[in-house]
A and B are shown apart, each in its own frame.
Chain A
């Protein structure tokens, strides 16, 4: 009998695996488009879209950061194939998050947007995280690694840990208005475990 891990590993190696993941990752977008078409996004559709796109950015980021720990622990090197796509979907959803905010909340008013970024620290932090992600997305293709040199590329892409911290702070600050931290705690715990594993491995290698 073939073990479950082996089956999952072989599924990951399937030539359609990436396509299937790509389609799954478009799920939230499809859900919003359906909601817009059917006017089914509740009393405040603008708020629903802005919040939901933020949620999915955090979720995609958690998934992208989970790839390496899973790959090492499950000894499944084929998982590495999905890391870039998950990272790029994180950027895709943060881009939609920014567009929804600038369009539905600010009506593309540049003066209002800049005033808002200065006025609200949580917007500033979120904006900084999105800018950070855009650098990683811009250097995500294979050529960028050659062009930058693997060492420098790695240093830049380690920046994703700082970006995750900023994203979490952005979410925490936003929820601070209602002192409602349950979901923030869940994301903090997930990201904490993913970071903790990396720190633990670093120390184990050294000793």
Chain B
């Protein structure tokens, strides 16, 4: 029996497992033909999902118009998680430890007025108002898988545009190697800040090439509406191939720096939360396995089987080259 090589923490496919480029590039046509054809069972599921993603807005918050993204890998075909689950079950420590805390407590968050300061090693540092950011680039809908480091996952239709659009506007200088993301830390409106579980404010970071990757999303909405406060309103990051905690919520500062930023979780437990934190089924968390995940809202409910976690959360084709030659067990 042949085994997949997992050299350097990658699970490498065999040539025969790789979809030929011609077939891969023709997939939209295949789907279109299916939708038009008589054998439309699978296709109608796809079509109704598209329709849901486009029109089935939860009707809770203000609408945020967008067009489906053309970025490679940006439109997952997985079943979209129910809005109720996505907006009531998440971590946002600024509002408490429990995943049921943010939805109960985040209503105090003040999102207007909101500014995001872009500073550091850039030619055009600027303080952007939320209105500036909303107009900076056309809004796209992107259906991303989200894998939490705790072992659960969702599929969420975000609204926003590639962070690269903003980065190009501010023109990083040659010595900018990393991007640091600082999120809101207001003791008056965020009860978690007062309890001091992490060293606030919550800081996250990416390498500049990761931040420039088209899949790295600056998000202002989900499910066709503006972001709920508990999900990081009014503007957040979404990096779909990394564990969820890498995607900072309620951003207030984006800083271009030369040295690798020290993230909030690295300060709290450096041996458990690495800077990269790419989703990787072959590199376990020191205290639990990362080989599988529970998809929230999975068919079968309580008795649904867990899913196998995919390398780079299924985005290896798009982002694998960013880590070529790196030992992902060392740079976890």
Contacts and interface: CB of A to CB of B under 8 A. Distances in A.
B97 A180 contact: yes
Given A43-B88, A120-B288, A179-B268, A36 B197 contact: no
Interface string A171-183: 0000001111000
A103 B97 CA distance: 26
Contacts of A39: 301
Interface in B283-331: 284, 287-289, 294, 296-297, 301-303, 305-306
Given A43-B297, A45-B301, A104-B303, A178 B197 contact: yes
Contact of B152 (A44, A119, A120): A44
B85 interface: yes
A43 B268 contact: no
B66 interface: no
What is the predominant secondary structure among interface residues of chain B facing chain A?
loop
Interface in B63-111: 84-85, 88-89, 97, 99-100
B288 A45 contact: no
A116 interface: yes
A46 interface: yes
Given A42-B100, A178-B197, A104 B268 contact: no
Interface residues of B, number: 23
A28 interface: no
Interface residues of A, number: 21
Contact of A104 (B97, B289, B297, B302): B302
B89 A179 contact: no
A107 to B, nearest CB: 6
Contacts of B306: 107
B289 A44 contact: no
A119 B288 contact: yes
Given A36-B302, A120-B287, A46 B197 contact: no
B85 A43 contact: yes
Contacts of B305: 107
Interface in A148-194: 177-180
A45 B304 CA distance: 11
Contacts of B289: 115-116, 119
Interface string A103-115: 1100100000001
Contacts of A36: 302
Contacts of A46: 294, 302
Given A42-B89, A46-B294, A180-B97, 12 more contacts: A36-B302, A39-B301, A43-B88, A43-B89, A43-B99, A43-B297, A49-B302, A107-B306, A119-B288, A178-B97, A179-B197, A179-B268
